[in-house]
Amino acid sequence: MASQVSQTMDKPGKITSPYGSWKSPISSKVVSENAVALQEVRVDWNTAKADTVYWSELRYSEGGRYVVCSATVGHEGYISWTPEGFNARTRVHEYGGGAVFVYDGAVYFSNYEDQRLYKQTSPTSAPEALTPSKQWRYADGQYHVKNGRIYIVREDHEVIGQNGVKEAVNTVVTIDPKTQEQIVLVSGADFYSCPRVSPDGKRLAWVQWDHPNMPWDSTEVWVADLTEGGSDVVKGSAQKVSGGDDVSVIYPGWTMDNELLYIGDQTEWWNLYHVTKSGDHVNLHPKQAEVGCPHWIFGFNKYSIDPTGSGNILTLFGRDLGLLNLKTKEYKAMQTGFGSHTLINYSGDGQYAYCIADSPTQFPVVLRINLSNTKVEVLRESKTSTLDKGYFSIPTEISWTTAGNKIAYGYFYLPQNKDFQAPEGTLPPLLVKAHGGPTAKTFNGLNLKIQYWTSRGFAVLDVNYRGSTGYGKTYRHALRRNWGICDVEDCCSGAEFLAKEGKVEAKHLCIDGGSAGGYTTLASLAFKDVFKAGASHYGVADIEALATDTHKFESRYMDSLIGPYDEEHKQLYKDRSPINHVNSLNCPMAFFQGDEDKIVPPNQAEMMYNAVKAKKLPTVYVLFKGEQHGFRKSENIQKALDGEFYFFSRIFGFEPADKGIELKIENLD
């Protein structure tokens, strides 16, 4: 099974130049400057303040600082809240998310530097600390209107080393914002998320799971009764509602009638369930599409309930926005002019819907939708640009047959530059991109990091290998015990498929990826002989080292991807680690790494770089000071992008049109 991909035809009036040498206006500076990454979308459920929406944005030009912003109906533009010296970012699970919530015109946020929770009453006021100066981290909070209390996940790092405690302790706590008193409501499980209180203030719902599970494996939704005023859980009232072995239940919420909703994958797909008063669990809209997503970060809103009690629920099946009625089960797709949506929220008065939206030709934006007339308004663009769309490559979703006669998926981008064409009879180099996670998914929204390559004459295959979400539970679970096998097979077979179809040059196949995608990159180069070069961005080289030296959230992740780290499986860990297969490497490799990375420590890249260097293969290692897992500073994003392109240009022997960065490549003749 394979989709057909059409090759770009030569057009008169274009400059003829070899692939890889095309001059492009999409520079690394254009990629990272005048740009932000739009993060959390939050609303105020105080109806008197319901005309304002809030979001956080990662600002590359401010050293990777997260800033809370807001926009109000009837007012032009937006307002920045977070003052200099503050950074609205939490480190719970290290990946964070869910750092911001809002009530009564005040913003509550976790501050990155000290991880304390702060309250800011206006854009010009100084934030006030609500939590003590301890090694406590907070995420996924909610201010409950009726109880006047905060309900939030707390991660306690102070206990590490005390009485033999080896890792942080996660709990659900409630905070009195007036007295700042904290009370632990739920404890005992290894992980918690989504503490949500019913509208009447009488019941608390949450998700919990234990090692070695990840939140897309086996999780449970629990509920408990709250005491009058919501300051504690009624003893003995906690009960499991759904979930268990091999069932992932996530994102609980409440209807305005105080009935529970949650997302579950009891069937093949993450769908939305309603727990009726009689105790039945009803799939509100059975569909072969995912409402859920892997819980890598907190605060991902996949559905939102109309607070007026109409029964309407904003939903996302995949990234298609729609309205689902709780009472009639009627579903209606919503058209916004954008192809992809995420982070949805009703306004507190039910008049508007808010989300982040994008498309293959549109940058992500914060969108306001008037639900009475479906009028759409862009509140904030993640990037302002005058780039001509003639430089944009529009991806085609393709599939191909991979190992075991299975099917793999990805987005294929042809080279595209309105000013250039390649000499007749030549084929473009191919860059295969392996996403992180590995339980994640790549999308087809406008991504200038990809357009940087395609506008210079590269083809790109962005792979959703087996293990990716969005294709059902069976596809997601295919990577269990098969990390370093299925993902590698799918990336390699995708490149071979395109070369065999005559779409790309078989002699110029390369691969890159970050984090788990960096591992897939290194494993593809170590275990297969398909690619001629590769670049790893903070990628895993030694699975054994990762299993023994990483943070709590992922400390047992390898149990499902490889197997438990015990005597029986230790050899398997060695066999799957690219660092132990340097002798089989026969192509150049580049490494880009942050020196403060707690998820994949820098020694992983250093070990691999030294091994490749010792084998006399061309290699380069770039270490970025002050960067963690993923690069957030403009100058480092630029150097990583330009550095990788420069590396491949030297390896494949083409001359870039624009002279950017030059790196010292070891062992290059």
| Phi, psi of 10, deg, nearest 5 | -65, 145
Contact status, residue 431 vs residue 410, Cβ threshold 8 Å: no
Contact status, residue 597 vs residue 629, Cβ threshold 8 Å: yes
Burial bucket for residue 248 (CB in 10 Å: 0-12, 13-18, 19+):
buried
| Phi, psi of 452, deg, nearest 5 | -55, -45
The DSSP string of 276-297 is -TT--EEESS--SS-S----SS
- pLDDT recorded at residue 11: 60
596: number of Cβ within 10 Å: 12
List all residues 6 or more positions away from 434 whose beta carbon is below 8 Å from its beta carbon: 463, 465, 487, 491, 511, 512, 513, 516, 517, 518, 520, 521, 524
- pLDDT recorded at residue 118: 98
- pLDDT recorded at residue 65: 95
Which CATH class name applies to 35-381? mainly beta
- pLDDT recorded at residue 12: 65
For the stretch 466-506, pLDDT in tens is: 999 999 999 999 999 999 999 999 999 999 999 999 999 99
| Phi, psi of 195, deg, nearest 5 | -70, 120
What tokens appear for 224 in the block? 């408990």
Euclidean distance between CA atoms 133 and 212, whole angstroms:
31
Q: Which strand (E) or helix (H) includes residue 67?
A: strand 65-72
- pLDDT recorded at residue 6: 36
- pLDDT recorded at residue 102: 97
Strands 589-594 and 79-80: unpaired
| Residue 548, amino acid | T
- pLDDT recorded at residue 455: 98
Contact status, residue 466 vs residue 473, Cβ threshold 8 Å: no
- pLDDT recorded at residue 545: 84
Could you list the mean pLDDT of each consecutive 10-residue stretch along the chain, which spans 669 residues?
40 88 94 89 91 95 93 96 98 96 97 98 98 97 96 97 94 97 98 98 98 96 98 97 96 97 96 96 96 91 94 95 95 94 95 96 95 95 90 97 97 98 97 95 94 98 97 96 97 98 97 96 96 96 86 93 94 94 90 89 90 94 91 90 95 87 88
The domain defined by 18-30+387-652 folds into: Rossmann fold (3.40.50)
Euclidean distance between CA atoms 198 and 253, whole angstroms:
8
Domain boundaries, the chain: 18-30+387-652, 35-381
- pLDDT recorded at residue 5: 39
The DSSP letter of residue 389 is G
Euclidean distance between CA atoms 486 and 576, whole angstroms:
12
Contact status, residue 43 vs residue 64, Cβ threshold 8 Å: no
Euclidean distance between CA atoms 193 and 155, whole angstroms:
11
